[in-house]
Structure 1
């Protein structure tokens, strides 16, 4: 009870400060602003070099997030208005908390299904069917495209990557090209669903695009995947890998947990659309589903049966992608700090006022290939430019699929570089940038054409 009172009392100052200290200092030409911007660039350089340094991407951005806000706090305290910075930072914490809880539940479910061998069953099924390399190229691509809207592009890439490594053992060329295809397919599939990518999730949670409105991006996303896939198709020899005769049985509770995951997604959507509550609350309710199901799976556990391994939901939570979750914290808090200093207002003026919304949103996709789409999209959401529904869908599309142009531009690409055992690298992906760029341009024109009416619909 005392802890609850302390939490409530801890929230009261933020409400007071938000109303009494609405002072924002323009630090874009101040030494503090220059220092913060320099620190962020250095941190992001480490993120981009993770493939070579093996220095996890969460470490530099978390450190820099603290330094940036320390600088802000120092300046505001010296000006006698310390609580304005505190209120702004609390707002960043709230935005991250919703994203964190949402992703934590999703990752826990994915880990539970992985441990129950749901994905392993899919992998063995594909291997055992005797498909040719070209057929496997298209199968893994299409599965990634349609799996990503539900399981997110990161998880999809890892699952399909495991399949490609298994069936393509000894064929480095196939693995390399198939991995590029999976990255493009997973990012494209994730662009037309709130659950497919962090960027779409952020836009949906912000309330800028309704759940069902994302699906108008289906055909532009499909074009984005098909064009580079059709080009890469000819780089793969039409040979067959050796058939592996292996039997995998899904563990006790695996099918039920899969259905609970779908129910959890439905709950999150319902909380947001019908009850007007944060989707993260629906996901946390879904975590409750898993915990209850996990109890009965544990009760049915037979210690003499090696297939029925003891199920522990808290172990699944511990195996979530913590580096990714902490990376998002560092990015959101760092970009929030730069925005509080005034830099995002400058960028918004340069991009959305001088260039115009369409060109600016196309540029967002190109930037997301270099910088990663999470900070780019968070920056756009923080700027909140006045745009129509069609333009918000355009930036959702470009930020989601633009990252496919470079291997470091999306979580899917970064994850596969670590999984590929050296077969898929920054350079091997770069060889296909021209084909991916063709798909990127074609998907934008497709959206501008088939969804033209939405560009007159205000948010």
Structure 2
């Protein structure tokens, strides 16, 4: 069902004018062709519809969602370039394709490094240690509700929402085995806090990363949304507080010992984020360049751990493979080799989703370049006020991926002040909290806390979440009035 909403939302927001790279050999943009009533336009639209339907039926057909989207994007751009080639303007379309490809590659490299570090920290049991530390405190349900909420609010500003949400979800599921009501309310709180926390930082999600990557907002400007995002989290949390159980959970815990190098990896991740910011702010290079520099630090650190290990070295264990070593030694060698292998962690990324997003971005870029629904852009930021347009787009993020929506709006290139871009960032970020299926953390927790956190249990608190949504907007206009 979610992919049907993807389809309806993205097709309804597609517009021309993608920001392709400048090329002196390219003819002026005024010669861009309107293919909305051309066979190529109808064909491209049909291909995208079929691809989204195929992605929507992934659970039924067992066909990974990336496959139809990759094919669709290839067909769409092949048709576009063919038509432009017939008009002797193929370089114009090729430049547009390259511009979209560059945007995706910068985003991909940034996400790749970030997720590689997160996989490394997971292998070092850092997240597991945080989980057991929280559980071991034996706090009351109400206190744990607030602590997990505030922790995930701040963690999600630097860690992707799904990872942060599942981390705290594991905590509430572990301590709430005897209280399904607590698990349900805590999961709703985690979803709201995660989406709110990811909205005041350029590192918090794909939509904020897009705005930063395009240079629309500077790194520090995002933090103007801190207070509105905090309000968005606090309003529904206060409403749910009084429905929480008052007693304490009885939980048995175990101690987690961090392996050598775990804390230094956390430090290196912080250094990597700092490099990304410095490359963008000081050198005017893409943030992905700083992230790749940080990846090299992780590689060198793994090499250092490998060479200075106090236990039996991997080299000795590998030698044992040819000298009759038992299976346990070989298992240890394999496990330690994976733990210190950056490429193994890169291989564990959710490549199906990343490739699906490539297909979606390139397909949307193609349909936008064709010229579909240009009138929608004029209606949103012409006939309607920018404030109303941004609020409506934010509400639609409960059904449509916010990264896809942000990309569509950026291609519109609306002439709006900084305050409106901040408003759009805010509404798209927190709008996904309105429904359980509105964001990656919500979908992840539906599976993690299956039977306790459900779509209907989230819907019961929709009025409170909606109140937080509009309260955050009101606070934004109040505290950031100078940005309009």
Normalised to the residue count of structure 2, the TM-score between the two structures is: 0.85
Deviation per CA, 1:329-388: give whole Å up to 9, x if none: 122112111210112633221100110211111111012111110111001111111111
Q: Tell me which of 251, 266, 279 is aligned to 2:274.
A: 266
Report deviation, 1:42.
4.8
RMSD: 2.5
Q: Secondary structure at the match of 1:270?
A: helix
Indicate if the aligned counterparts of 1:344 and 1:383 stay in contact, CA closer than 8 A.
Answer: no
Q: Tell me which of 385, 404, 424 is aligned to 2:414.
A: 385
Matching residue of 2:148: 140
Indicate if the aligned counterparts of 1:129 and 1:243 stay in contact, CA closer than 8 A.
Answer: no
Cα distance in 1 between the residues matched to 2:207 and 2:26: 27
Q: Tell me which of 433, 443, 449 is aligned to 2:472.
A: 443
Matching residue of 1:411: 440
Indicate if the aligned counterparts of 1:14 and 1:90 stay in contact, CA closer than 8 A.
Answer: no
Indicate if the aligned counterparts of 2:27 and 2:92 stay in contact, CA closer than 8 A.
Answer: no
Can you give the 5+ residue segments of structure 1 that lack an aligned partner in the other structure?
A: 1-12
Indicate if the aligned counterparts of 1:133 and 1:236 stay in contact, CA closer than 8 A.
Answer: yes
Q: Tell me which of 244, 247, 267 is aligned to 2:252.
A: 244
Q: Tell me which of 374, 385, 389 is aligned to 1:360.
A: 389
Report deviation, 1:165.
2.2
Aligned length: 443
- Superposed, 1:6-45 pairs within 5 Å as 15=23, 18-19=26-27, 23-44=31-52
Report deviation, 1:186.
0.7
Change (3 A) 1:446 1:65: same
Change (3 A) 1:174 1:43: farther
Indicate if the aligned counterparts of 1:107 and 1:320 stay in contact, CA closer than 8 A.
Answer: yes
- Superposed, 1:53-452 pairs within 5 Å as 56-301=64-309, 302-303=311-312, 309-310=336-337, 311-343=340-372, 345-452=374-481
Cα distance in 2 between the residues matched to 1:177 and 1:405: 14
Deviation per CA, 1:271-308: give whole Å up to 9, x if none: 11111111000000000111111111222332499799
Cα distance in 1 between the residues matched to 2:65 and 2:169: 21
Greater relative contact order (CA < 8 Å, ≥ 6 in sequence): 2
Cα distance in 2 between the residues matched to 1:58 and 1:76: 27
Indicate if the aligned counterparts of 1:27 and 1:342 stay in contact, CA closer than 8 A.
Answer: yes
Change (3 A) 1:294 1:330: same
Change (3 A) 1:87 1:34: same
Normalised to the residue count of structure 1, the TM-score between the two structures is: 0.89
Report deviation, 1:50.
6.1
Indicate if the aligned counterparts of 1:22 and 1:84 stay in contact, CA closer than 8 A.
Answer: no
Report deviation, 1:65.
2.0
Cα distance in 2 between the residues matched to 1:162 and 1:104: 24
Report deviation, 1:51.
7.4
Cα distance in 1 between the residues matched to 2:142 and 2:60: 31
Can you give the 5+ residue segments of structure 2 that lack an aligned partner in the other structure?
A: 1-20, 314-328
Q: Which structure is higher in helix share?
A: 1
